[in-house]
Amino acid sequence: MTPVKCYPPRPEKVYFFGTCLIDLFYPEAGLDGIRLLEREGIEVLFPQDQTCCGQPAYTSGYQEEARAVAAAQLGLFPEPWPIIVPSGSCGGMMRTHYPQLFAGTPQEAKANEVAGRIFELTEFLVHVSHLKLEDRGAPEKVAMHTSCSARREMGLAETGPALLAQLGQVELVEQARAAECCGFGGTFAVRHPEVSAAMVEDKTLAIEAAGAERFVSSDCGCLMNIGGRFAHQKKAVKGEHIASYLWRRTS
């Protein structure tokens, strides 16, 4: 596996940026991500004033509004420790788009500095923490859905599967067209609901056809979209954030 950036040695401390969807819909996934890091002997700091990364406004074309939201995050990480984000979508916004968003502003240097310390959770666990897992769960067939942002913006198509591959009782099944979008795409699902519904229908059919009993992802938007479609279909396939899945099977 080729790293996508120059990775540092394992640090003593990290910051954790929880994301809006973790905060509102999947708080246990955030706690499980923190537990995984703490089990590695890393102290995790959670800035209490953190809010949204600014991506919804940014991808909707509201540059000034996105900059105002993002600017409120820049001062939350004063020490030079890695910033761990349990989402490829938010991680992609902060690493890739903060430098663009603040280019030519007084906050450009700070935005670039923060962007350089952003790590998606599975990326950090594989390339920095070098996490080793011992599976304690029952046999299960699992499909991995890597979000478009994690796959394309951050180049992290392999880190989630690499962690799942360490689980001896888990069979990682390959869905057809695994690289295709689930149809969520943040505000895309709101602006184009019919297209989004067709895309997620394809995704659920592919996961089911692969024989998966469960699907995991590192992005909560994808989990909500795919899981919601499975529930609408009254199918038994359940979704889980990869942080919770790893913690549950190894603790």
Q: Where are the domains of the chain?
A: 13-127, 140-250
Per-residue three-class SS string for 130-170: CCCCCCCCCCEEEEEECCHHHHHHCCCCCHHHHHHCCCCCE
Q: What is the pLDDT of residue 5?
A: 73
Band of residue 88 on the pLDDT scale cut at 50, 70, 90: very high
Mean predicted confidence (pLDDT) in 153-168 = 97
Q: Dump pLDDT digits (tens) for 23-46.
A: 999 999 999 999 999 999 999 999
Residue 11 has pLDDT above 60, yes or no: yes
Mean predicted confidence (pLDDT) in 200-208 = 97
Residue 1 has pLDDT above 80, yes or no: no
Q: Are 82 and 14 in contact (CB under 8 A)?
A: yes
Q: Is 103 helix (H, G, I), strand (E, B) or coil?
A: coil
Q: Check: CATH 3.30.70 for 140-250?
A: no
For all residues of the chain together, what is the average pLDDT? 96
Burial 183-200 (b: 16+ CB within 10 A, else e): bbbbebbeeeeeebeebb
Q: Are 32 and 62 in contact (CB under 8 A)?
A: no
Share of the chain above pLDDT 90, in %: 95
